[in-house]
Amino acid sequence: MDKFCFVACILIFGVAAQLDIFRPKTIRFNVFKGRCPDYPKAPIYLSNVQLNNINRTFYVSLKVHVTKNIDSDDLKLELHLKRCASSDALDSCENYNTIKLNHFCKMLDAEDKPWTPFRKYFHPPSTGCPLRKGEHSIKNGTFDGSAFSRIPINNFYWKVTVHLITVPQDEVVMCNQVEGQIAPI
């Protein structure tokens, strides 16, 4: 019986190693598509987006364009997730889930969140909500992508549409599309 348990453990760990179960993982952004075709005139958009990662650390450079004052005291963020079998099987994509985050302005301004250090990279510094017309840039801002590895979304390719919506007006002021997957480092 002991030999059986030993052999079973060896097989399980061998299979697990082949399946990358124990390898650390991070998110891989494969494509940043930019503005959504349905919202070509949304007043907030991103340009010159560069996402690079080394292990679980991401380096982000981008420009945030706000083309008009967004006179809303709060915003909500919606992430619309489509799950695909792989990046080679985009015809397999299906609607998976929508994640809604209310009080997004308060979350951004919080001092104890994983993205708090990232705010210091904005130039000129962000003043929070309501958003004012102008252009902000980030050069080599960093954040730790290890939190993404704990989300149970392995083994799929994801197409994500990001909406930023005013409260209470319910106006979509930003829409971007990104694709990626959770992958071993």
Residue 127 belongs to a domain = yes
Under 8 Å between Cβ of 36 and 175 = yes
pLDDT in tens, 54-97: 877 888 899 999 999 998 889 999 999 999 999 898 999 999 99
Q: Residue 58's domain spans which residues?
A: 24-184
Residue 122 belongs to a domain = yes
- Looking at the structure of the chain, the number of domains it has is 1
Strand partners, 176: 35, 162
Residue 6 belongs to a domain = no
pTM confidence score: 0.80
- The CATH number linked to 144 is 2.70.220.10
Residue 14 belongs to a domain = no
pLDDT in tens, 97-151: 999 999 988 888 888 776 777 778 888 887 778 889 999 999 988 877 776 666 6
Residue 37 belongs to a domain = yes
Residue 68 belongs to a domain = yes
Residue 117 belongs to a domain = yes
Residue 9 belongs to a domain = no
User: For the residues of 7-50, what is the DSSP string, one character each?
Assistant: HHHHHHHHHHHHTTSSS-EEEEEEEEEEE-TT-TT-SEEEEEEE
